[in-house]
Amino acid sequence: MRTVAFDVPPQEILTKDSVTVSVDAVVYARIMLDEATDRWGIKVERVEMKDVRLPVQLQRAMAAEAESSREARAKVVAAEGEQKAARALKEAADIITESPAAMQLRYVR
């Protein structure tokens, strides 16, 4: 009834998106003698990934994608700031147009 660990040697596998990665894992299993288990008498409790190594080219591509995503978000934030500033300037221009005295107050200040 005790749990036994088996090291799975590192293996290269192909991911769903056709990328080759190296995976290192451990399988934890224990012997079960009751009827609820497989006819082999072994039940796999869990499998843990010890290490996953991505190819260097894929690491670089992922880093470039993350950087471009950050740059895109920064541009959106900057554009939103400019849009708010433009709205504020338009509101100020509308107020000045409606009341010429407001322009005089602006200069006095």
From residue 10, give the alpha-carbon distance in Å to each of 14, 64, 97.
13, 27, 74
Q: What is the pLDDT of residue 76?
A: 95
Closest CA to 30 of 57, 72, 1, 10: 1
Output the DSSP codes for 45-78: EEEEEEEEE--HHHHHHHHHHHHHHHHHHHHHHH
DSSP label at 107? Answer: H
Q: How far apart are CA 41 and CA 34, in angstroms?
A: 8
Residues 56-103: tens digit of each pLDDT: 888 888 889 889 999 999 999 999 999 999 999 998 888 878 887 767
- pTM beyond 0.85: the answer is no
Percentage of the chain with pLDDT > 70? Answer: 81
Confidence of residue 18 (pLDDT cuts 50, 70, 90): confident
